[in-house]
Structure 1
Amino acid sequence: MLKWITSIALLLHLVFRLISPENNVVVDLLLFNLVGILAAGVALNAPLLTDRISAVALGLAALIWSLGSFFSTWNSFFQAQVPDGISDLCYSIFYPLVFLGVTRSFTYRRSITALELLDTVIIAVGLVSILTAFLLKPAMLSFEGSSWQVFTSILYPVGDLLLLALVLIYLLLTPINIRSILIASGLLSFALSDLFFIWSSLNGTYTFGSITDDGWILGLLLLSLSLGFPSSEAKFSDKISSYSATIALIASSCLLGVAALKPGYFPSFILIPGFITIALAFIRMSFALSEANSAGTERVLARTDELTGLSNRRNFLFHLAQLKGGYIFLLDLDGFKRINDSLGHDAGDQLLKQVANRFSRVIPTGAQIARLGGDEFGVIAQVDQLEAFELAQAIKATLSYPVTLTTSEVAIDVSIGYASIDPTVDVIDALRRADLAMYQVKEKGGGPVLWEKGKFEKIG
């Protein structure tokens, strides 16, 4: 309903302006700015088809611009004047907000990460303000007025040109659909109307209340309406966001560098966006490091056994698939179930940890040891047959003396079966051969057994 009310209000304003070209308070002050305020309501009440950051940013952009327009128009009708600085401030805030909202519209997700949010804020605050800052000094040689007045007079065309650039980027990176068409049309309508206003004002041909002014509120309405439609996934949006944030940071650093080398070259208020951008960049860095550490921890957990710290089955099979030779050993503890049942799971966990430590101490450099599950372990090593036998004996010898637990000492043994790794045989078959050898030991007892050439062999 709010969409229809806003659209009807815009049509009424166009009709009244065509019928009665005379300026009046109802049409030019109230109805004109009402459309922008209603458009803000449309954006803020948009369905959750994307993240709320986009809707809030575009809604606030429309609202703040409409307030600036209301104050500016008020001064055209009434003697009680509102300071021009208030309107300029509202217009200045509009550009970072709309840039933030449109940038967030690139995503097809309903939520964004802290890094993505910081990137878009850095872009919004940095690029618009800092580009304007670098144009300020040359412009002050040609324009009259205070530094703030010259700054805002430059900010508007720079902001409009960035909006036009954003249209091109958006259309290139986003599949064409209703949402992308509305966003591109809204940005074009607003930016072209504003550039026409600036051009005609400089040439002394602008007429207050011109029908071209409706391009502003039409642009706001189209941007708000776009939020009611789903968006497709944009191409390379994460890279674009990251690169743009980096450019904004470099520009801010240059700004502060020039200010340090030439004190007084920029007005003090110009340096604020630079400080904000760099502060946000440091916050972004801390988030990035935190996420990188978390990702690293998750990667480690994905390939290690949580109890013993050894490799897990998945990582073991991955390394096994890479080998073109050597031997695979399967180790199964004898008597573990009895100890686990009689002394409890805590004692069983302690036992597994200590056994893993003992096994690890005799594993040669470059070999891989893993807990495959329960009380079963695996070892792969690129060794010859004699070295493989010696390694199997060394592993078995680690359990030749009791294991000390918190409550008692326990004796435990291990059955070891091993097989050569044949590059022509797949991983599952290599495991099967070592498993057959290990169960041969389980059934008949004795030392490690080797599966070789289709039969069991005891070496030594």
Structure 2
Amino acid sequence: MSAWPKDPKQTALALLSLLLAALHLALVTESGVGRSLLTVDALYAACIASTTLLALSGWRQEKRSGNGGLGWYALGMGALLLAELWMLQYELPGRSIPEISVADPLYFLSYLGIAATLLRFHGLRGWSAEAWGALLDSLVVVVLVGELAWIAFLADALASPDSWVQATLNLTYVGTDLLLLTLTLLTLRRRFSLPLSLFGVGVVGFVVADLLYLNLEVHKQYVAGTPLDALWTWGTVFQGIGIVWAWHTRAWELPQETTEQLATRRQDRMLRVVPYLAMVVSCVLLVKTPFWPGLQGKQTELWSVALFAVVMLRQAVSFWEGDELQTELLRRTHQLRYQALHDALTGLHNRAAFEDELASALTPPVREPFVLLYLDLDGFKPINDQLGHAAGDEALRWVANRLRATLPPKSFIARLGGDEFTVLWRGSTAEAEALAERVRTALSQPMTLDAATAQIAASVGVVTVEAGTEHHPDHLWREADQAMYRVKRAAQATAQAESSAEADPKRAAPET
């Protein structure tokens, strides 16, 4: 479980916020509330102040660590605090709340701060199929919430507004609430960590409180100092604690452990069901419209069409996701197959690939003749010992490149391991010795390794297989190995003879 930060100041501010929220809840739920509205609102402002200080404390820490994410939230909470302090004056005797005030742009600024924070934490990378799918899933829910808000109060507020200014404000508040809901669903869709979930619950509490307030206000039924106000208070506290906790634990990062990934996938599947539940609710509203007077004239048909369009887009994106997944699986399958059949150092085929190729070439009866070359490098060990293993690796890559450049295009070249290579070439066996000589000549050229010049040689065993014959792969391997060692021993004998001749010229001179 993610640990709460050990900073004592942040712990104290979190506890203070919870205490103030509890006191606020006690006030708004006690009987006779309404006679102390100034106290209730002042307590809410105190909750916002403690949450703002908590966000600022986390922001100062993140500035020192170089991470980002809390600055916008601290700005939003600061704007919310100023708005609430401004609104306190209207609780004084003889003051009435104006249609629009300085507090309204401050409220909108606080919403933008929360939105910017959610944009920082939703974690989607670019406009991939996954990103579009998550966005459309969120929009399905948001469209349903918009439909419910429209049916409950927004249609009536816009149909016969007391003031176009107030109607515009109400519409803007609903729009910002739906934006926050969309971003919250995107964030929770990515990972259901406890810190982010707490932050999301706080934002959703804020949105629900706003929509309920607007519904009551439009119908002239809102009464200040009721339990509805506690949704704003606890929403603020949950946001502040959740966001600082999430920042401390880096909770927005994707889980790395397999068990956590599986848990995240299960939660993701649960969230995928939500859009379809929203569609069911919208269909019920559509069916009930002719029989429910409260729904008539509320354009439920248009909302249902809009919701259906979003769901259809989501289905199209699901097909896109499936295609992307299939393409990625094919790419990884090809990559794994390549890695399984190729040598990582040289890029040549490996032993397993060569054994498969040889078995295919020897399928009885042999369909076409081929030449098998078995190479062992002479002089490679001193390179490793004197110049180091990095130089040895570079020498092996040099050998691989020389073989590719020297041999015919259809040659099957493989590194068996160490300094042993094999070549299978389908063609006339009459050219076997010429092919082996080309390899020996190519590999005897000097090479530059780490500013040093080195030279190797190759002992090449040659085995030919004619068409129409039958051979066992193991026997052919043995023949090639024996042929290579015959060449190696012959080369060693020649070298020893030349060395003896240089050491004793008289013994090397022919008799007269």
TM norm structure 1: 0.54
Secondary structure at 1:399 match in 2: helix
TM alignment of 1:50-449, pairs within 5 A = 62-74=77-89, 83-97=102-116, 99-100=118-119, 103-104=122-123, 144-145=164-165, 149=169, 152-159=172-179, 161-162=181-182, 170=189, 182-183=198-199, 185-226=201-242, 228=245, 232-233=260-261, 234-235=264-265, 310-311=346-347, 316-317=350-351, 319-320=353-354, 323=357, 324-326=359-361, 330-337=374-381, 355-369=399-413, 376=419, 378-379=421-422, 381=424, 383=426, 386=429, 389=432, 393=436, 395-399=438-442, 402-403=445-446, 412-417=456-461, 436-437=481-482, 440-441=485-486, 443-445=488-490
For residues 431 and 269 of structure 2, what CA distance do their matches in structure 1 show?
50
For residues 322 and 145 of structure 1, what CA distance do their matches in structure 2 show?
79
For residues 113 and 237 of structure 1, what CA distance do their matches in structure 2 show?
20
Is the 1:6–1:35 Cα contact (8 Å) retained in structure 2?
yes
How far 1:202 sits from its partner (Å)? 1.6
Distance 1:174 1:85, change over 3 A: closer
Distance 1:431 1:373, change over 3 A: farther
* Partner residue, 2:24: 13
CA deviation profile, 1:101-133 (whole Å, cap 9, x unmatched) = 6635xxxxxxx98999xx79x97xx989x99xx
Letter of the structure 1 residue corresponding to residue 51 of structure 2: A
Is the 1:325–1:382 Cα contact (8 Å) retained in structure 2?
no
Q: Percent identity?
A: 19
How far 1:89 sits from its partner (Å)? 2.9
Is the 2:461–2:481 Cα contact (8 Å) retained in structure 1?
yes
* Partner residue, 1:34: 46
For residues 319 and 223 of structure 1, what CA distance do their matches in structure 2 show?
58
List gaps (5 residues or longer) in structure 1: 105-111, 241-291, 448-460
Distance 1:98 1:350, change over 3 A: closer
List gaps (5 residues or longer) in structure 2: 1-11, 148-153, 252-259, 271-327, 362-370, 493-512
Is the 2:83–2:103 Cα contact (8 Å) retained in structure 1?
no
For residues 41 and 304 of structure 1, what CA distance do their matches in structure 2 show?
59
Is the 1:10–1:35 Cα contact (8 Å) retained in structure 2?
yes
How far 1:311 sits from its partner (Å)? 0.8
CA deviation profile, 1:240-266 (whole Å, cap 9, x unmatched) = 9xxxxxxxxxxxxxxxxxxxxxxxxxx
Distance 1:363 1:377, change over 3 A: farther
Secondary structure at 2:347 match in 1: coil
How far 1:198 sits from its partner (Å)? 1.4
CA deviation profile, 1:144-190 (whole Å, cap 9, x unmatched) = 239984762342342365378569x64xx767x85576456434422
1:2 to 13, 24, 40: 13
Distance 1:353 1:102, change over 3 A: closer
Letter of the structure 1 residue corresponding to residue 238 of structure 2: L
Distance 1:42 1:339, change over 3 A: closer
How far 1:39 sits from its partner (Å)? 3.1
For residues 83 and 377 of structure 1, what CA distance do their matches in structure 2 show?
82
Letter of the structure 2 residue corresponding to residue 9 of structure 1: L
Distance 1:444 1:216, change over 3 A: same
Letter of the structure 1 residue corresponding to residue 35 of structure 2: E
For residues 55 and 38 of structure 2, what CA distance do their matches in structure 1 show?
26
Is the 2:433–2:462 Cα contact (8 Å) retained in structure 1?
no
Is the 2:118–2:184 Cα contact (8 Å) retained in structure 1?
no
Is the 1:72–1:87 Cα contact (8 Å) retained in structure 2?
no
TM norm structure 2: 0.50
How far 1:364 sits from its partner (Å)? 3.5
Is the 1:75–1:82 Cα contact (8 Å) retained in structure 2?
no
For residues 141 and 416 of structure 1, what CA distance do their matches in structure 2 show?
91
Secondary structure at 2:213 match in 1: helix
CA deviation profile, 1:191-219 (whole Å, cap 9, x unmatched) = 22121011112212222343311201212
Distance 1:11 1:146, change over 3 A: closer
For residues 377 and 224 of structure 1, what CA distance do their matches in structure 2 show?
65
For residues 198 and 395 of structure 1, what CA distance do their matches in structure 2 show?
88
For residues 240 and 426 of structure 2, what CA distance do their matches in structure 1 show?
69
Query: Bigger shift: 81-90 or 52-61?
Result: 52-61
How far 1:5 sits from its partner (Å)? 1.3
Is the 2:170–2:214 Cα contact (8 Å) retained in structure 1?
no
CA deviation profile, 1:37-71 (whole Å, cap 9, x unmatched) = 423555676799xx966666666655554444444
Distance 1:316 1:21, change over 3 A: same
Query: Bigger shift: 193-202 or 394-403?
Result: 394-403
Distance 1:113 1:188, change over 3 A: closer
Q: Max radius of gyration: which structure?
A: 2
For residues 206 and 479 of structure 2, what CA distance do their matches in structure 1 show?
73
Distance 1:431 1:206, change over 3 A: farther
Distance 1:443 1:402, change over 3 A: closer
Letter of the structure 1 residue corresponding to residue 15 of structure 2: W
For residues 476 and 171 of structure 2, what CA distance do their matches in structure 1 show?
73
How far 1:330 sits from its partner (Å)? 4.8
